[in-house]
Chains A and B, each alone.
Chain A
Amino acid sequence: MKYIPTIGIECHVQLATKTKLFSEVDNDARGKEPNSCVSPVDYALPGMLPRLNGEAIKFAILAGRAMNCEINAYSRFDRKHYFYPDSPKGYQITQFYHPIIGEGYVELPSGTKIRIEHAHLEGDAGKLTHFDTYSLVDLNRVDTPLIEIVSMPDIHSAKDAHDYCKELWRLMTFAGVSYGDLYNGNMRFDVNVSLAPEGATELGTRAEVKNLNSFRSVERAVEYEIARQSKILDAGEKVVQETRGWNDNTGKTTGQRSKEEAKDYRYMPEPDLPPINLTAEFIETESAKLPLMPTDYRKKFGGVLKAEILEVLLDYAELMKKLAEIDEKYVVAIANLFTSVLLAEEKSAEYLNDLPTAKQLNDLAEMNEKKELSSTATKEVFLRLFDPQMKGRDTKVIAKELGLIQENDLGALEAIVDTVLAKPETQKAQADFKAGEEKVIGFLVGQVMKESHGKANPSAVQEILRKKLA
């Protein structure tokens, strides 16, 4: 039988705020000792009370607006209870009843719109590492602000599931609210998959695959679930509503917890935090800070850049931002340099953090256009611009220092050509050319280039040579 898969995705995004959601300790634990970014509040000493990080509220507004969502003027926190050493308080502070971000949608590159049900703010849990006879607890991640984005069941293919997650990642990095480092768990996905026979009005029983941390694993897990559930349904059996885990090595999901064993979180309003009341003005002011989003860039550059190049560049918020500052007539040239030169570099990730100025890049493109730089020289100067020592310096000066400016002055070029033509070692070639041997022109151009120390514009040289030898 043919089945229609329906997929809903919950995505956890760690916000890149300076401090934690409920305390004033450093929120960036990258490269720090375990349990070194933990306040008495995070550690849940007796009598400790959560404070609220205003930056997280502002980030939530940006994240919400990036997904075309309503921002709720009134929102509130709730406690979600469970016992585990990754949760020092014995509960997670989340927004169960009144989330800050309301309905909205995310538009995929294909144009498909996936509706957002809501998104809420909450504190992350700590991390446990298990060994044979003991486990170690690291609370650095406790109460790192998260937003959990809950989609409507609008996704019907593994490809769209992949594209949706990737687009969310782009939205969060473009909005500047998350580092978006998937390897370090900055974004994690829980995927609900159910199948229903074609034409059915009700959805089938769903299985949830938890804690996926790459777009590829989302896509593979959905593919696997569609195949697994199809087989079950084809056999006339029933899909069990359960939580399943994904194994990236085997490419399979396995059952973890069924609905019967589902936990009761005993939600309760958080009495230590007053509700958040946002004025329309505040929401407006903060929303206005949202930079251009992928959809905006698609509109802006859609007619100029090839779709493949644009989609590659859309994986790099920094490059898109830079491209938006580039003179319109140089956008294609600079975009090409970004994709073919910069992203091919081994250290490109490092370079992204400190891009050359728009003026440096515009000047570079202009020099190339005016043939002052050959295409090879353009690439060389381009890479040179990423050298920290070249920061903010004039592109022309840099090119000159590298000795890469092409000689375009016809008078000066003629003089060089004359010198070369006067040399005894070129006499034979000149004669051959005049006798009709076309390809020796290359040798002569090469001699001129050599004489000019590579600065001559080769096409101009050829033109002069042809005139002189005619």
Chain B
Amino acid sequence: MKTANKTVTAERLVRDALEKAKYFADYNIFTFLNEEEAIKKAREIDAKIARGEKVGRLAGVPYALKDNFLSPEGQTTAASHILEGFVSPITATAVEKLEAEGAIMIGRTNMDAFAHGSSTENSYFGPTHNACDKERVAGGSSGGSAVAVALDIVEFATGTDTGGSIRQPASFNGVYGLKPTYGTISRYGVVAMASSTDCIGFFTKTPDDMNLLMEIASGQDEKDLTTLPDYYGKTKAKKATKIGIIKDFDNDSVHPEIRKALQNKIELLKSKGYEIVDLEMPALKYALAAYYIIVPAEVASNLSRYDGVRYGFRSEKSENLDALYKNTRGEGFMPENKRRIMIGNFVLSSGFYDAYFLKAAKARTLIVQEYAKAFEKCDFILSPVTPNPAFKLGEKTSDPVTMYLEDAMTVPLNLAGVPGLTIPAGKTDDGVALGLQLIGPRRSDKNLIEFSKELA
């Protein structure tokens, strides 16, 4: 990570990043550019450096913030209409930690509204374009953040991953993207999608940058009772010997160029003396169905607070309380938001809870056990991130189920709470970026990042 010093000032780094952000304006990466505040903060850091004072590990490093992180700079909208005008009095724990080390937010990045989606096409601000091919989707939901790093606007960006929202856009744009073990980074101050699967993570260009960010951002937070006791920095190095391949994720349903990329990496590992282990993980086939029950249920619940009463958008034409709710939510949410609210409320309805939610919860337990069993046989798993590379803009918007199917390889990790790291894996013949994901047992994040260097 290039930090500020006496010759390359923080102001220089920040101005460069802002200039690049403007240069790539047609990619629709940012929902807000933090010009004034960012330059002010950069000057403060430069003044510190000039005085010879100690500065943080990210001194003057510009970064991009996914628009679902609360901070008082700009509006926190989660790329939705219903949060339009909301300026947060609160700063997310993760943001606080980054800024305490001197990182400077230069802008908020575009996303699928409330992180519902896999293409950033569900944004109130329109879609973000793929870094390699403007005709294609950026992936999502953290599409803006992935593209901001891929186009070298910033050295890192924050993301959230509920079912693949970091790993999939990282793969689509050819950068590193980590979904840590559930509970590693505090969710406090991050607009909730699904509480039990939401993970905070990052996009970077290198494994070392990822490690540094994890050192900084991880840790137990009394404001988030689901955070794990500090473990990241205390992780004991462990040399991997066996790498698992999930057989069901290496068949005809997977795009040939992705299979080829996977095969290349397998060969590389073999050449380095690693043992390749074939894994049967039959419970994973329930993951997508379970995910699209549990997550919409939590989504419907977490979105209940957006009612137009206290903050954000409120529909003008409301004669009574019922109309206020219906109109505000009707106008304020995107179609995908509404779809998930409806699914979620349906599966939680009296009489359906046992048939859907409870069954999905049981499937989730099976999936957790499936990973535990797999990690008795291998140290890490190497897998595709998606069955297909980045698709064309508009190609799948009319068919939500096809879109959901693209999540089949990412969502099992969220249900199990295990970490997953997307690593770049070359490009298709058409020049579309490819990625693969490395999966590890819970709390193996640090070793997982270290191991990824073997595949670089």
What is the interface of chain A, defined by CB distance below 8 A to chain B? 40, 43-52, 79, 81, 83-85, 88-91, 137, 264-268, 271-274
Q: Mark B352-393, 1 if CB is under 8 A from A, else 0.
A: 010001000000000000000000000000000000000000
Q: Which residues of A contact B196 (CB under 8 A)?
A: 271
C-alpha gap A397/B225 in the complex (Å): 58
C-alpha gap A361/B123 in the complex (Å): 74
Name the distance in Å between B102's Cβ and chain A's nearest Cβ: 23
- Provided the pairs A52-B225, A266-B349, A268-B348 are in contact, do residues A46 and B76 lie with their beta carbons within 8 angstroms? yes
C-alpha gap A49/B200 in the complex (Å): 15
Are the CB atoms of A274 and B225 closer together than 8 Å?
yes
C-alpha gap A275/B224 in the complex (Å): 14
Name the distance in Å between B82's Cβ and chain A's nearest Cβ: 10
Asked if B188 is at the interface of the complex by the 8 Å CB criterion, the answer is yes
Among B88, B92, B349, the residue within 8 A (CB) of A264 is: B349
- Provided the pairs A45-B90, A49-B188, A79-B301 are in contact, do residues A266 and B350 lie with their beta carbons within 8 angstroms? yes
Are the CB atoms of A268 and B187 closer together than 8 Å?
no
- Provided the pairs A266-B345, A272-B195, A274-B225 are in contact, do residues A47 and B310 lie with their beta carbons within 8 angstroms? no
- Provided the pairs A46-B83, A90-B304, A266-B348 are in contact, do residues A272 and B225 lie with their beta carbons within 8 angstroms? yes
Are the CB atoms of B226 and A272 closer together than 8 Å?
yes
- Provided the pairs A91-B301, A267-B353 are in contact, do residues A40 and B223 lie with their beta carbons within 8 angstroms? no
Are the CB atoms of B223 and A47 closer together than 8 Å?
no
Q: Which residues of A contact B222 (CB under 8 A)?
A: 51
Among residues of A, the one whose C-beta sits closest to the C-beta of B298 is A271
Are the CB atoms of A46 and B192 closer together than 8 Å?
yes
Are the CB atoms of A46 and B325 closer together than 8 Å?
no
Are the CB atoms of A46 and B191 closer together than 8 Å?
yes
Q: Mark B173-188, 1 if CB is under 8 A from A, else 0.
A: 0000000000000011
Within 66-121 of B, Cβ neighbours of A (below 8 Å) are at 68-70, 76, 78, 83, 86, 88-90, 92
Are the CB atoms of B305 and A88 closer together than 8 Å?
yes
Name the distance in Å between B182's Cβ and chain A's nearest Cβ: 11
Within 275-309 of B, Cβ neighbours of A (below 8 Å) are at 297-298, 300-301, 303-307, 309
Within 186-204 of B, Cβ neighbours of A (below 8 Å) are at 187-192, 194-196
Among residues of B, the one whose C-beta sits closest to the C-beta of A264 is B350
Are the CB atoms of A268 and B307 closer together than 8 Å?
no
What is the interface of chain B, defined by CB distance below 8 A to chain A? 68-70, 76, 78, 83, 86, 88-90, 92, 187-192, 194-196, 222-226, 297-298, 300-301, 303-307, 309-311, 321, 325, 345, 348-350, 353, 357
Are the CB atoms of A43 and B310 closer together than 8 Å?
yes
Q: Which residues of B contact A50 (CB under 8 A)?
A: 225
Name the distance in Å between A353's Cβ and chain B's nearest Cβ: 34
Q: Which residues of A contact B86 (CB under 8 A)?
A: 46
Among residues of B, the one whose C-beta sits closest to the C-beta of A46 is B191
Contacts A/B (CB < 8 Å), 23 sampled: A40-B90, A44-B305, A46-B78, A46-B83, A48-B189, A49-B188, A49-B224, A52-B225, A81-B301, A83-B304, A83-B307, A83-B325, A85-B307, A89-B305, A90-B303, A90-B305, A91-B301, A264-B349, A264-B350, A266-B345, A268-B297, A271-B194, A272-B225
Name the distance in Å between B95's Cβ and chain A's nearest Cβ: 11
Are the CB atoms of A46 and B357 closer together than 8 Å?
no
C-alpha gap A43/B309 in the complex (Å): 11
Q: Which residues of B contact A265 (CB under 8 A)?
A: 350
Q: Which residues of A contact B311 (CB under 8 A)?
A: 45
C-alpha gap A46/B311 in the complex (Å): 10
Q: Which residues of A contact B353 (CB under 8 A)?
A: 267
Among residues of A, the one whose C-beta sits closest to the C-beta of B89 is A40
Are the CB atoms of A90 and B225 closer together than 8 Å?
no
Are the CB atoms of A274 and B226 closer together than 8 Å?
yes
Among residues of A, the one whose C-beta sits closest to the C-beta of B322 is A83
C-alpha gap A265/B348 in the complex (Å): 9
Q: Assuming A271-B194, A272-B224, what are 8 further A-B pairs, CB within 8 angstroms?
A: A46-B88, A47-B68, A47-B191, A81-B304, A88-B310, A264-B350, A266-B348, A272-B195
Are the CB atoms of A46 and B348 closer together than 8 Å?
no
C-alpha gap A184/B335 in the complex (Å): 44
Are the CB atoms of A91 and B90 closer together than 8 Å?
no
Are the CB atoms of B301 and A49 closer together than 8 Å?
no
C-alpha gap A89/B192 in the complex (Å): 12
Are the CB atoms of B191 and A91 closer together than 8 Å?
no
Q: Which residues of B contact A274 (CB under 8 A)?
A: 225-226
C-alpha gap A47/B192 in the complex (Å): 5
Q: Which residues of B contact A83 (CB under 8 A)?
A: 304, 307, 325
Among residues of B, the one whose C-beta sits closest to the C-beta of A90 is B304
Q: Which residues of B contact A271 (CB under 8 A)?
A: 194-196, 226, 298
Q: Which residues of B contact A266 (CB under 8 A)?
A: 300-301, 345, 348-350
C-alpha gap A272/B311 in the complex (Å): 22
Q: Which residues of B contact A52 (CB under 8 A)?
A: 225
Name the distance in Å between A261's Cβ and chain B's nearest Cβ: 14
C-alpha gap A274/B417 in the complex (Å): 15
C-alpha gap A85/B225 in the complex (Å): 26
Are the CB atoms of A47 and B307 closer together than 8 Å?
no
Name the distance in Å between B437's Cβ and chain A's nearest Cβ: 24
Among B92, B304, B348, the residue within 8 A (CB) of A89 is: B304
Name the distance in Å between A108's Cβ and chain B's nearest Cβ: 35
Name the distance in Å between A298's Cβ and chain B's nearest Cβ: 42
Among residues of B, the one whose C-beta sits closest to the C-beta of A23 is B223
C-alpha gap A50/B306 in the complex (Å): 17
Q: Which residues of A contact B69 (CB under 8 A)?
A: 47
Name the distance in Å between B222's Cβ and chain A's nearest Cβ: 7
Among residues of A, the one whose C-beta sits closest to the C-beta of B312 is A46
Are the CB atoms of B88 and A45 closer together than 8 Å?
yes
Are the CB atoms of B225 and A46 closer together than 8 Å?
no
C-alpha gap A79/B304 in the complex (Å): 11
The list of the 10 closest CB pairs from A to B, nearest first, reads: A90-B304, A271-B195, A266-B348, A271-B196, A44-B305, A46-B191, A47-B189, A264-B350, A47-B190, A272-B195
Q: Which residues of A contact B89 (CB under 8 A)?
A: 40, 45
Among A88, A268, A273, the residue within 8 A (CB) of B225 is: A273
C-alpha gap A45/B70 in the complex (Å): 10
Q: Which residues of B contact A84 (CB under 8 A)?
A: 321
Q: Which residues of B contact A268 (CB under 8 A)?
A: 297-298, 301, 348, 357
C-alpha gap A360/B430 in the complex (Å): 95
Are the CB atoms of B223 and A49 closer together than 8 Å?
yes
Q: Which residues of A contact B226 (CB under 8 A)?
A: 49, 271-272, 274
Are the CB atoms of B223 and A46 closer together than 8 Å?
no
C-alpha gap A44/B345 in the complex (Å): 20
Among residues of A, the one whose C-beta sits closest to the C-beta of B222 is A51
Name the distance in Å between B448's Cβ and chain A's nearest Cβ: 25
Q: Pick the most buried of A85, A265, A272: most chain B CB atoms within 10 A of its CB.
A: A272
C-alpha gap A51/B227 in the complex (Å): 12
Q: Which residues of A contact B192 (CB under 8 A)?
A: 46-47, 49
C-alpha gap A66/B238 in the complex (Å): 53
Q: Which residues of B contact A49 (CB under 8 A)?
A: 187-188, 192, 195, 223-226
Name the distance in Å between B110's Cβ and chain A's nearest Cβ: 17
C-alpha gap A84/B307 in the complex (Å): 9
Among residues of B, the one whose C-beta sits closest to the C-beta of A83 is B325
Q: Which residues of A contact B297 (CB under 8 A)?
A: 268
C-alpha gap A88/B188 in the complex (Å): 18
C-alpha gap A85/B305 in the complex (Å): 10
C-alpha gap A272/B69 in the complex (Å): 17
Among residues of A, the one whose C-beta sits closest to the C-beta of B92 is A47
Are the CB atoms of B223 and A51 closer together than 8 Å?
yes
Q: Which residues of A contact B321 (CB under 8 A)?
A: 84-85
Name the distance in Å between A176's Cβ and chain B's nearest Cβ: 27
C-alpha gap A45/B69 in the complex (Å): 12
Name the distance in Å between B76's Cβ and chain A's nearest Cβ: 7
C-alpha gap A79/B76 in the complex (Å): 25
C-alpha gap A43/B86 in the complex (Å): 14
Q: Which residues of A contact B301 (CB under 8 A)?
A: 79, 81, 90-91, 266, 268
C-alpha gap A273/B225 in the complex (Å): 6
Name the distance in Å between B93's Cβ and chain A's nearest Cβ: 10
Q: Which residues of B contact A45 (CB under 8 A)?
A: 70, 88-90, 311
Among A46, A90, A267, A273, the residue within 8 A (CB) of B70 is: A46
